[in-house]
Amino acid sequence: MNTFFDQLIEQQAAIELLTQVVAQNRIAPAYLFAGVDGIGRTLTANCFIEFLFCQNPDKPVNQKQIHSRIQQKNHPDILWVEPTYLHQGKRLSPKEATEAGVKRKAPPQIRIEQIREISQFLSRPPLEASRLMVVVEHAESMPESAANGLLKTLEEPGKATIILIAPGIDSLLPTLVSRCAKIPFYRLTDAGMIQVLKRHNFDDILSHAEILAMAQGSPGQAIYHWEQLQTIPVEFLNKVKKPPSNLRLALELAKEISQTLDSEAQLWLVDYLQHCDWQDQQKTGIIDQTFLKQLEKTRQYLLSYVQPRLVWECTLMSRF
């Protein structure tokens, strides 16, 4: 029995596929771990790499040491890549940006400089393991220039494997997807959600039906929605949920949203308003997709770096 994936809850399809490729020694140059955020894709990548690195018939391996180094992200044969913000000419991870108190005006992205770093990393042989591994989180955040650069790298990966973590095949360039073996990930059942949230000491979320409804089978999203909810005052949320009665109030609220919330919080607010509008429609029995469609446009505009205040002005004016 394979114990390397014991930390995972559900995701049997992914576990079986990855176990088979290692057993048959048919490791692909690139994988696409496809599924929504927060359902175990990154954890699976770590488990898969540990499983792979422990398959060395030529010399004994220290599984505990390998596990520790993967968890601490200090293994010399693994490169972890995540979207970054650009602040004063310096790249910052989302965690670093939060710790530095940076006002995030646009979503983070995988930058062309990071793709060059991947190419440089793959230009050398592995130091300890049987192959080099690269894990690209939120690969969908790559602009086209970065994606094309990565495509060139995938053409000659050498003794290496690249794992792209993204929502699905539609979120990446088709030419990039065609180079990858697809590993599907699925939303968790209610029982799986409960198990994961309790394991990570988020029992309080289980009593908040609206958070669970927004998460839609993703424990990671449930935790994310919960943490975002804690940072935004209830009075502010109630104000935003209520349609403005006139143009002046809509413009004032748009200004307040764009000045008060950073880009990540604004995107979360879109999710929250979509959920609230849908719930209201279910209660009244009156189905009207107008505002839901407008909010979807709002999300796309915010992700496309359109001026946030203008985006919210258009969104809020559509409500009266």
* pLDDT (0 to 100) of residue 161: 97
Residue 264 belongs to what H/E stretch? Answer: helix 263-284
Q: How far apart are CA 44 and CA 231, in angstroms?
A: 30
Alpha carbon separation from 317 to 252, 257, 273, 320 (Å, rounded): 11, 14, 15, 6
Q: Which pLDDT value is given to residue 45?
A: 98
Computed over every residue of the chain, the mean pLDDT equals 93
Confidence check: pLDDT of 2 > 80: no
User: What does the pLDDT read at residue 127?
Assistant: 93
Domain ranges of the chain: 11-186, 191-318
The rounded distance, in Å, linking the Cα atoms of 11 and 33 is 11
Residue 174 has pLDDT above 90, yes or no: yes
Could you give the CA distance from residue 266 to residue 17 in angstroms, rounded to a whole number?
Answer: 37
Helix spans in 144-246 (H) = 144-155, 174-177, 190-199, 209-215, 219-231, 234-241
Element holding 135 (H helix, E strand)? strand 132-136
pLDDT for 287 equals 74
Instruction: Using alpha carbons, list the distances in angstroms from residue 18 to 25, 44, 183, 220, 301.
Output: 10, 9, 8, 22, 37
Q: Is the pLDDT confidence value at 262 over 60?
A: yes
Whether the pLDDT of residue 295 is over 90: the answer is yes
Distance, CA of 249 to CA of 155 (rounded, Å): 54
Residue 119 vs residues 113, 133, 193, 295: alpha-carbon distances, Å? 10, 12, 38, 38
Q: What does the alpha-carbon distance between residue 44 and residue 66 come to, in Å, rounded to a whole number?
A: 15
Looking only at the bridges linking them, the beta strands covering 181-184 and 78-81 are unpaired
pTM of structure: 0.86
What is the CATH T-level fold of the domain 11-186, as seen in this structure? Rossmann fold (3.40.50)
Tokens of 154: 């995938």
* Region 117-140 average pLDDT: 95
Q: Which of 268, 235, 252 is nearest to 312 (CA)?
A: 252
Q: What does the pLDDT read at residue 170?
A: 94
**Strand order through the sheet with 160-166:** 78-81, 132-136, 160-166, 30-34, 181-184
Tokens 């719930």 correspond to what residue? Answer: 279
